[in-house]
Amino acid sequence: MTISNQPEPATLVQLQQWMLASITNPQGLAAGLQHATIAHGRDASAMLVKGKVADVQAGLAVYANGYWLRLLACLQSDYPALRLHLGEDLFNFFCRSYLASFPPASYSLHDLGSHFTRFLRHTQRSAAREGHSLRFPLELALIEHARNCAQRAPGLEQTDYTAPDPMAVLLGAKTVISLPATTRLLLTAHPLSAFQPWLAAATVPGSARPQHPLVRATSCIAISRHRYHVSCHALEDWQFYALSAARRQARTLSHCAQAAARRCHMPVTEIHAKLSLWLPVASATGLLMTAQSTTTEQG
């Protein structure tokens, strides 16, 4: 009886698992092959009994390179303005470092860059404190991430929501404010006008790089989506803090006015009146939702 030293051919499932472990390792194909050998107890020659190991590795390199280039292209698509600001090489360096720390863990590539801004803040925290040269691209990334989230979140387009009745609000009808998932609020050290040229230039291939902003000013920015169109809004501080009060759960108009008054050191009655007039405008741009009842709200 002859005993063959040839390993048994791998099943299709085993081959798929081994190949996935080989080509998706953040440290590269060599590390991936080593990991796959440990994880599955078979090396390349055991998984593919026909052909030379060197040929197998050369073939796998095509898939490994394509896999990581696809991930890089996804991040480039999500952060075009940051890519324009940093330049190709530096942006790709940050992307590769990010992917090494946060490899894909979701079925959707839309989630690939969900931790990118947190990664940038964490790794560049000390540099951002020393000067504002890195503070701007960090905030630019935050705005792009907020725009991406607003674009992909479930919105009001498929609902029967109607804007609030301004007269009812002014007459004191109890009004409850909530924020849709498409609204994002940001506090930045630069005005919205400093980010807009970069956001606009990133949409036009071959555009010249705008000038780096010199003006710094604490700014309140809101991102919203209305009829599938995402917009950026520069808010007054009382508007920002009133919306912030309803960010996690619905709040009454009075509660939002009181929260904004504490932060802005303004009379509650003044902010309440301003909010009553502003609510229909904010609702029309998709920033917030309101619900009203015939009950008179107690200030």
185 burial level (CB within 10 Å; 0-12, 13-18, 19+): buried
Position 129 scores a pLDDT of: 58
Q: Of 8-12, 97-101, 127-131, which gets the smallest average pLDDT?
A: 127-131
Of 205 and 200, the structure prediction assigns the larger pLDDT to 200
The three-state secondary structure class of 246 is: coil
pLDDT exceeds cutoff 50 at 1: no
184, 158, 147, 143: which is closest to 287 by C-alpha?
A: 184
Q: Of 17-21, 82-86, 241-245, which gets the smallest average pLDDT?
A: 17-21
Position 39 scores a pLDDT of: 78
Position 257 scores a pLDDT of: 95
Report yes or no: 256 and 152 within 8 Å, Cβ to Cβ: no
48, 297, 65, 82: which is closest to 176 by C-alpha?
A: 297
Backbone angles phi, psi at 41, to 5 degrees: 70, 20
Position 124 scores a pLDDT of: 76
Distance from C-alpha of 283 to C-alpha of 45, rounded to nearest angstrom: 63
The three-state secondary structure class of 229 is: strand
Distance from C-alpha of 37 to C-alpha of 17, rounded to nearest angstrom: 11
**Cα distances (Å, whole numbers) of residue 46 to 22, 27, 41, 52, 139:** 14, 23, 9, 11, 50
Report yes or no: 137 and 210 within 8 Å, Cβ to Cβ: no
**Cα distances (Å, whole numbers) of residue 222 to 14, 59, 122, 128, 188:** 49, 48, 23, 23, 11
Q: Dump pLDDT digits (tens) for 268-286.
A: 999 999 998 899 889 888 9
Question: Which alpha helices (H) appear in 221-267, and where do they start and end?
Answer: 237-245, 253-264
Position 296 scores a pLDDT of: 56
**Both tokens of residue 191?**
């005005």
* pLDDT grade for 123, boundaries at 50, 70 and 90: confident
- The H or E element that residue 234 is part of is strand 229-235
Distance from C-alpha of 10 to C-alpha of 37, rounded to nearest angstrom: 13
Q: What is the mean pLDDT of residues 218-227?
A: 95
Distance from C-alpha of 199 to C-alpha of 54, rounded to nearest angstrom: 46
Mean pLDDT over each residue of the chain, to the nearest integer? 84
Q: Dump pLDDT digits (tens) for 184-198.
A: 999 999 999 999 999
Q: Dump pLDDT digits (tens) for 128-152.
A: 555 556 889 999 999 999 999 999 9
Q: Dump pLDDT digits (tens) for 25-78.
A: 877 777 787 877 777 766 655 555 555 556 667 778 888 888 888 999 999 999
DSSP type of residue 110: G
Percentage of the chain exceeding pLDDT 90: 48
Position 163 scores a pLDDT of: 67
Q: Of 92-96, 126-130, 157-161, 220-224, which gets the smallest average pLDDT?
A: 126-130
